[in-house]
Structure 1
Amino acid sequence: MSGKPSPTLHVSEQERAAIGALLRFPLIAAVNGRRSRRFPVGGSIPAGELAFTSAKPVQPLSEVERALVLAMVTGVTGWNFGISHHPGYAPALPNYPGTAGGRTFPSAAGFHTTEFFFTDDSGTYFLSSRDAAPGGEVADDGDGIDVDAWLGATVARYRKLSPQRVWLPREEPYLEGHNTWIANHPGSLLVIPVADLAQHLIANLAFFLQNGYGVYDDVNQRPIPGGDDSSLRHAGDPFPLSFVEQYTLAEASAELITSVYNGHLLLGALGLGGWTFDGIDRLSVLGASGDPAVPGLGFHVEHDDRWALPNPTGLPGVFETLARPHVRDAAEAVERFAERRSGAGGPLNAATPGPWRDTPRVRASAAPYDARFLRLLTGQVRYIDETFGKIPGTVPTVQILNYLQAQHLDTDFYDHHFTPGAYLPTHGAHESTWH
């Protein structure tokens, strides 16, 4: 796989006019008009009551349409405001956030462990925005968004990994049966959010530890080192590990679904078809299908007789989780976790710009990770890794939940099979508006 930069985005005058109308599209209309509109130009349903074959050719998204969807799903929107107050920390600022920037979707305590891949007819890409600093790309000076800066910031983050679309056989178990006719269809854009659950778990262990709680191993019914440390405010009341890991899975999944939900809302405003769905096998996408002919994204995959499923851990040099083999051991995982927060550009670094009137003073006031805290946190991470053979111990290291697919809609299908109102006026006018 290569790492070729993407070309600069050119926005035509017609597209600028269309974007101006897009920015005025009502939020309520986007929410109420959201539907899963799966039938694209060039599509075909071969049998059944809704059988139909498109008379129009496959039409990939334009560069501008693609950038708009990706900006809405992945974009950096300004500075993370952090957690303003916690009586147990005062006068220190809580030290939860993982990044200084805010994005288009929420993250529990600002952990932000999600990154993005996408694939279309032009290839497969990685789009990292997790630690990107805001660059004024969505600033509104009264005359509207700077379209070139907004979309340009997104396009600049594309990293092309392959000239081919991710290939999955159109059959089960790679695709759910009801998606075999349409998922990852030619002409479509498929956005794939991916969460680092290893890092998210470490963030949660740190969160509980900073608030005086340890964890215990409820799977094997034994304590986890440091969980009953006498210096913890709640030393006698640890949380069960399975709860913390399910909490981690749920919080990260919220990032995944809300990011693509934003994109789904945009599709109606753009007049594009598509939907959010989870009907593609995540192991096949990541590269753990077990079939060498179906490499997916090519993630490194670990196997262990203790686990019910193989465990993808990351894509070397692209998306590496805080889990072995991408880190040497628990100590390095915790070091990198702490460095993301306090290192250059991190939310706890006084030199990092931010939203406050005296940003250096606010950032410098955050509660530090002292040696005792890092020792206890490292002990917990090491125990989980050694006991279960991976991080996290009871849920996957990498999580995929919902995908977003965007495509040009064939309104003829809806006119033929549906009553009026099956698509929005933006869908009916899309070609004349955007092309």
Structure 2
Amino acid sequence: MKHPGFEYTLNYPLFKAIFERRSRRISKGIKAVRAGSLTYTSIQKPQPLELLEEAVLILVAMGFTGRTTPDRPFQDEQNKNIMATPNLHMIGRSAGSPDNAQGTYFFLINDSGTYFLRRPQDQEPIDIYNTEPEKLIEFAEACKQKLLDKRLDMPRQMPYYIGSNRFVSNVEGSTILMPIVDVTWQYINGLMFLLTQPDGQRPAFTDEMKFNRYAGIKRWVKSGYLNKDMKIPLGMLEAMRTQLEAPLVLQNLMLVLQAMGLGGWIHASFPGSVLTGVPKTNFKVAFQFDYQKPSFKLNNILNWLTYSHGVRPNPIGLEGVFQGLCPPYVKTMSDAVDRVIAEKYGKRGVYSDKDYFEEIFKNEGLAEDYIKQVPHYPREVIEVTKDVCNYIYDTYKRFPAHTDAIHVPGVWLQAHHVDLDYYDHLFHDAYTEVNAMHQEAWHGEK
């Protein structure tokens, strides 16, 4: 069944969305905007997003957008194998992700409750142009894991809300999408990818929190497998760029808000320590995540004095919701590395899925040839990675040590219905025709 608002959104021009994208912070239901002579009093009632409106946002945030192609060379100029299997996933998402790690998840907050969003297992790519709205709603609902029966909120003051945000953020009628990133899988995968360089170009990882000593790889430097003159401090790796996916998804969501005629903006969220419940905090917390809590060691005295990452409690997962790839969820970091290898090359691994590649390659037999021929990680790469990961955990009793396992970007996106009367009252051209026609197109109101 056709839905006029949804159809209009699907055909909204990209460049129009880019150039008309604006933060429109005033939503229906905000009773007063106190601003001196610009003060505005509203008679509008809060209007929550309907299921289809929310489903479109969830699809952009979490959905499978189609198949990706294995279009990397895997031989050099001398026809020697080079690494071409870095991906942790092959199905695409709405935003780029380092090695397609897709470590970004979302909390969704609305009037009906607080949810964790995850993609359903074995979900096929969704063709949004040829999928009935009811099916999109089914997909969105399947992504939701309800955590609270109410809107997650905090006192309207620092550190929970900053400045004027406390009057317009996370208000009745709004839908909040808050990203959270599992760094652990891509941290391991990224280490392995760095180690697949040619002879003489494989880096030697050092630990700047331990006076730049080798990070468990001394024997590999001594053997010449790693280049002693190409040192990379572990802290320089940060989160292996895994954190870059979240803001890209948020930007896509902003463009979709414009195409739908909704208001909203990206702004500061609850701090990571508040969201995950860092131990011994004096503030209210949203959830109590599992934490790795490094114990005091005399040889870590400098880390303790500066309170560097190596001695901070490390958020690693939320019971019954999701878990990072590190102890205690795996026995050792060697087991964690083996999990990554199995995810890529095991019986049901990313690079073992013949059915997937048969959908991608045109000619019969190419899928099987690709699976047989594409190089895997050499044994030495896996062993070095295990040595580095075990060094990190054995030294700091947390993994990673130079960044957190669970990264909280500290921003969220709010979606809401715009109070057009406010913008009409004060401004010239503060919204576009799609904002003006939203109620008619999406809700049948003249």
**TM-score, normalised to structure 2's length?**
0.85
Q: Does 1:245 align with 2:238?
A: yes
Matches within 5 A, 1:218-257: 218-220=208-210, 221-226=212-217, 228=221, 230=223, 232=225, 234=227, 236-245=229-238, 248=240, 251-257=241-247
Q: Hey, what does 1:29 align to over in structure 2?
A: 16
Distance in 1 (CA, whole Å) between partners of 2:323 and 2:65 is: 24
Q: Deviations over 1:156-200 (max 9, x none)?
A: 222222222222221101122232112221211111221112222
Deviates more, 1:398-407 or 1:41-50: 41-50
**SS across alignment from 1:180:** helix
* Alignment CA distance shift 1:377-1:145 (3 Å): same
Q: Does 1:379 align with 2:387?
A: yes
* Alignment CA distance shift 1:136-1:204 (3 Å): closer
Q: Hey, what does 1:81 align to over in structure 2?
A: 69
- The code of the aligned residue for 1:405 comes to Q
Distance in 2 (CA, whole Å) between partners of 1:351 and 1:295 is: 46
* Alignment CA distance shift 1:350-1:64 (3 Å): closer
Distance in 2 (CA, whole Å) between partners of 1:256 and 1:206 is: 23
Match of 1:399 among 386, 390, 407: 407
Match of 2:327 among 317, 324, 333: 324
Structure 1 residue 95 displacement after superposition: 1.8
Check the 8 A contact 1:77/1:104 in 2, yes or no.
yes
Deviates more, 1:217-226 or 1:231-240: 231-240
Match of 1:159 among 123, 127, 145: 145
Distance in 2 (CA, whole Å) between partners of 1:323 and 1:255 is: 21
Check the 8 A contact 2:60/2:252 in 1, yes or no.
yes
Matches within 5 A, 1:271-310: 271-288=261-278, 294-304=284-294, 306=304, 307=307, 310=313
Distance in 2 (CA, whole Å) between partners of 1:146 and 1:229 is: 61
Deviates more, 1:41-50 or 1:164-173: 41-50
Matches within 5 A, 1:123-138: 123-129=113-119, 133=122, 135-138=124-127
Distance in 1 (CA, whole Å) between partners of 2:178 and 2:424 is: 31
Check the 8 A contact 2:277/2:289 in 1, yes or no.
yes
- The code of the aligned residue for 2:221 comes to D
Q: Does 1:196 align with 2:179?
A: no
Check the 8 A contact 1:100/1:346 in 2, yes or no.
no
**SS across alignment from 1:215:** strand
- The code of the aligned residue for 1:317 comes to G
Distance in 2 (CA, whole Å) between partners of 1:107 and 1:198 is: 14
- The code of the aligned residue for 2:216 comes to P
* Alignment CA distance shift 1:150-1:57 (3 Å): closer
Q: Hey, what does 1:66 align to over in structure 2?
A: 54
Distance in 2 (CA, whole Å) between partners of 1:403 and 1:353 is: 34
* Alignment CA distance shift 1:406-1:98 (3 Å): same
**SS across alignment from 2:150:** coil
* Alignment CA distance shift 1:432-1:201 (3 Å): same
Distance in 2 (CA, whole Å) between partners of 1:362 and 1:87 is: 13
Name which one, 1 or 2, has greater alpha-carbon Rg: 2
Check the 8 A contact 2:293/2:397 in 1, yes or no.
no
Distance in 2 (CA, whole Å) between partners of 1:90 and 1:266 is: 45
Q: Hey, what does 1:101 align to over in structure 2?
A: 91
**SS across alignment from 2:337:** helix
* Alignment CA distance shift 1:229-1:347 (3 Å): farther
Match of 1:412 among 395, 417, 421: 421
Q: Does 1:260 align with 2:230?
A: no
* Alignment CA distance shift 1:134-1:231 (3 Å): farther
Match of 1:181 among 134, 145, 167: 167
* Alignment CA distance shift 1:299-1:90 (3 Å): farther
| C-alpha RMSD of the superposition | 2.6
**SS across alignment from 2:164:** helix
- The code of the aligned residue for 1:215 comes to F
Q: Hey, what does 1:51 align to over in structure 2?
A: 39
**SS across alignment from 1:237:** strand
Check the 8 A contact 1:168/1:284 in 2, yes or no.
no
**SS across alignment from 1:406:** strand
Check the 8 A contact 1:41/1:58 in 2, yes or no.
yes
Structure 1 residue 150 displacement after superposition: 4.5
* Alignment CA distance shift 1:133-1:230 (3 Å): farther
Q: Hey, what does 1:8 align to over in structure 2?
A: none
**SS across alignment from 2:22:** coil
Distance in 2 (CA, whole Å) between partners of 1:252 and 1:116 is: 15
Distance in 2 (CA, whole Å) between partners of 1:150 and 1:346 is: 27
Match of 2:430 among 414, 417, 422: 422
**SS across alignment from 2:352:** coil
Q: Hey, what does 2:344 align to over in structure 1?
A: 341
Percent identity, aligned pairs only, is 26
Distance in 2 (CA, whole Å) between partners of 1:204 and 1:27 is: 33
- The code of the aligned residue for 2:97 comes to S
- The code of the aligned residue for 1:172 comes to M
Distance in 2 (CA, whole Å) between partners of 1:403 and 1:117 is: 9
Distance in 1 (CA, whole Å) between partners of 2:383 and 2:44 is: 63
Structure 1 residue 232 displacement after superposition: 2.8
Check the 8 A contact 1:101/1:134 in 2, yes or no.
no
Distance in 1 (CA, whole Å) between partners of 2:121 and 2:273 is: 28
Distance in 2 (CA, whole Å) between partners of 1:218 and 1:21 is: 54
Check the 8 A contact 1:213/1:232 in 2, yes or no.
no
- For structure 2, list consecutive stretches of 5 or more residues without a partner in the other structure: 297-303
Distance in 1 (CA, whole Å) between partners of 2:353 and 2:113 is: 40
**SS across alignment from 1:161:** strand
Q: Hey, what does 2:374 align to over in structure 1?
A: 366
Structure 1 residue 366 displacement after superposition: 3.1
Matches within 5 A, 1:346-361: 346-351=349-354, 353-354=356-357, 355-357=360-362, 358-361=366-369
- The code of the aligned residue for 1:168 comes to M
Structure 1 residue 233 displacement after superposition: 6.1
